[in-house]
A and B are shown apart, each in its own frame.
Chain A
Amino acid sequence: MKNTETPTMLPPGAYIRTLRRELPVTAAVVAAMAALVILFAGDSFSLNILATTFLFAGLATAWNIIGGLGGQFSLGHSVFFATGAIISANLFLVFQLSPWLSLPLVAAVAALLSVAVSWPVFRLRGPFFSIATMALTEVALALAIYFDRFTGGARGLSIPFRLGLENMIFRDRFSYALLMVGYLALTLLVMAIVTRSRLGYSLQAVRDNEDAAMASGIDVLRTKLAGMAISAALTAVGGTLFLMFVRVVDPPTLFSLFDVGVKVAMIALVGGIGTIYGPLLGALFLVPLESYLRAQLGGSVPGGNLIALGVVLMLTALFLRRGIFGAVQSAWHRLRRPAL
């Protein structure tokens, strides 16, 4: 066995992965994804799929902070996604404010909003919490359609095509794909920091057993709210990037329960819930698969792509309890064990 270097006098049995040991892995993963984009440079069709993949990988990673680590299975993250898109769109249309500058603002607003709406909902545990977040989505959508001055109502908002890095508007798909890799990098970095900190451990303790967590001195509500605020802030940033990527957004799309709320949870679930890199794996598998299925089956078998995705979810639930990441991890351990 290799002798691992530890700064303190920890015995090998007390080995834990610290942030310092995690960050090189995170950097390598991000570099690999950037390499993938460079590999497909010039192929607009593939770059589009990659951009969408990395956007959803980032969103699923953000969701994973509260949904996976914290075990609070939110299906209402589309509300924070829409918050980012709508605020940035208004600031851009009314004040010509660069979306880069509105990013910190939408993150802060979404974090505050998430704390305000989660405060009462966090009294509910398990499926009751999930149902409440679904209801929240519907209420938010109704409000968004009513206040059409800010949201464009059912017609939506469109961003004029003003090229420029400062406007986050590019002609080529390559730049968008890289932009989304940047978003993925941000979410992975935050996820790594949270996972390798006391907050990450507290979130897992709350997920496993609230009574034991409380008896160990963990403020359960505060832990959940902190996880939710970080998750919501990152989700709102994803909303702004989505806005600049498609440039036409309407409330039914932004607040979509299936296309956003359920989808990010499903990606994390299939990839490996609660793990740092699982949601990325889930997105790499599911997003291209979905667009392929939509192209192949969308015309001939309406809804066929949804049936296929449903089958994937069922198979994951039956055979890959810990997602793709979990399966890869066990295979890796099985390979290494005889060598030890």
Chain B
Amino acid sequence: MTAAFLDVRSASKHFGGLKAVDDVSFAIAPGELVSIIGPNGAGKTTLFNLLTGQLAPSGGSVHFKGHDIGRLRPNQRARLGFGRTFQISQTLTSMSVLENGMIGAFLHHRGLEAAAAKAWSALEQVGLANRAAFKAGELTLGERRRLEVARALAMEPEVLLLDEVMAGLNQTEVQEIIDLVQRLNATGVTFLVIEHNLKVVRAFSRRVIVLNRGQLLAEGSAADVLANPEVIQAYVGKKGM
């Protein structure tokens, strides 16, 4: 192996005096499924935004397949193979569910019918095909999250960043998403997942990165990291509960 697949070096983002992400470094190998956990305000979403280009970094670099992508805009990174969902779901509310999927599919398919076919198969994968004709604004919260996953899937990404995609879903839906992620991961898609549900984290990720107050607190296998006293303290507060 030459350079790492996704290599984050000393990534930093400061908002005024607040160091939302502070000197965070890690590397991801192709085909990995990594969870990022941490208490609220730990900087997880900010880190995601640095990776996808939604935010300009205050320092550090992001390399993808050996190329420095730290200054590329989100649409350019999407073209390189980054797909993402947002913590607060960002659907195209006045467009139909199918059209939402097509917006992702257009990245690699120019024609309308080719894009519609790709969008349809992405909707089937997340179980939304029966909602294809609905406006995205008419969907429930859980459906919107799955629609975001479908839009990202239609982009045929190499790396998929999911930001709390399970939040607000019921148990069956959570299990469906877990199955979907594992199925896609098996086909070679690399995943970076922000997740609060530790059961989910334990269930599917071999590696976990823990952020706390903008800094990398721990990194390792799910079992090790979740047993780490520092992590437990950061996560659930002081001992004694």
Contact = CB atoms under 8 A, between A and B. Distances in A.
Interface of A: 6-11, 13-16, 18-19, 196-198, 201-202, 204-205, 207-209, 211-220
B98 A16 contact: yes
Interface string B67-99: 000000111001100011010001111110011
Contacts of B6: none
B75 A211 contact: no
B5 interface: no
Given A9-B117, A213-B92, 20 more contacts: A6-B113, A8-B113, A13-B120, A13-B132, A13-B133, A15-B116, A16-B116, A197-B112, A201-B95, A205-B103, A207-B94, A209-B91, A211-B86, A212-B91, A212-B103, A213-B103, A214-B73, A215-B83, A216-B151, A217-B104
A13 B129 CA distance: 8
Contacts of B79: 217
Contacts of B133: 13
B119 interface: yes
B92 A209 contact: yes
Contact of A211 (B54, B119, B120): B54
A336 to B, nearest CB: 14
Contacts of A19: 112
A202 B106 contact: yes
B52 A16 contact: no
B102 interface: yes
Interface string B92-134: 1111001100111011001011111101100000000110110
A214 B120 CA distance: 21
Nearest to B154: A216
A220 B129 CA distance: 28
Given A10-B113, A208-B94, A211-B90, A216 B104 contact: yes
A219 B72 CA distance: 12
A14 B73 contact: no
A201 B113 contact: no
B8 interface: no
B86 to A, nearest CB: 7
Contacts of A196: 112
A322 to B, nearest CB: 10
Chain B at the A interface: SS class: helix
Contacts of B119: 14
15 contacts: A8-B113, A8-B114, A10-B117, A11-B120, A14-B116, A14-B132, A16-B112, A16-B116, A201-B99, A209-B91, A211-B90, A213-B75, A216-B107, A216-B151, A217-B79
A209 B112 CA distance: 20
B106 A198 contact: yes
B113 A16 contact: yes
Contacts of B74: 211, 214-215
B20 interface: no
A123 B75 CA distance: 16
Nearest to B52: A215
8 closest A-B pairs (Cβ-Cβ)?
Answer: A217-B78, A208-B92, A14-B120, A212-B90, A214-B74, A217-B107, A13-B132, A14-B116
B208 interface: no
A123 B102 CA distance: 26
A220 B117 contact: no
B209 interface: no
Contacts of A213: 75, 92, 103
Contacts of B155: 216-217
Given A13-B132, A13-B133, A208 B120 contact: no
Nearest to A200: B112
A16 B119 CA distance: 11
Given A8-B113, A13-B129, A216 B120 contact: no
A213 B52 CA distance: 13
B92 A220 contact: no
B36 to A, nearest CB: 18
B198 to A, nearest CB: 27
A11 B93 CA distance: 23
**Residue among A18, A201, A204 with max Cβ neighbours from chain B (10 Å):** A201
A220 B117 CA distance: 24
Contact of B103 (A8, A18, A197, A216): A216
A16 B117 CA distance: 10
B134 to A, nearest CB: 11
B147 to A, nearest CB: 10
Contacts of A10: 113, 116-117, 120
A198 to B, nearest CB: 5
A15 B112 CA distance: 10
Contacts of A207: 94
B25 to A, nearest CB: 24
A170 to B, nearest CB: 40
B86 A215 contact: yes
B107 to A, nearest CB: 4
A212 B52 CA distance: 12
Contacts of B84: 215
B98 A201 contact: no
A7 B116 CA distance: 13
A7 B117 CA distance: 12
A219 B75 contact: yes
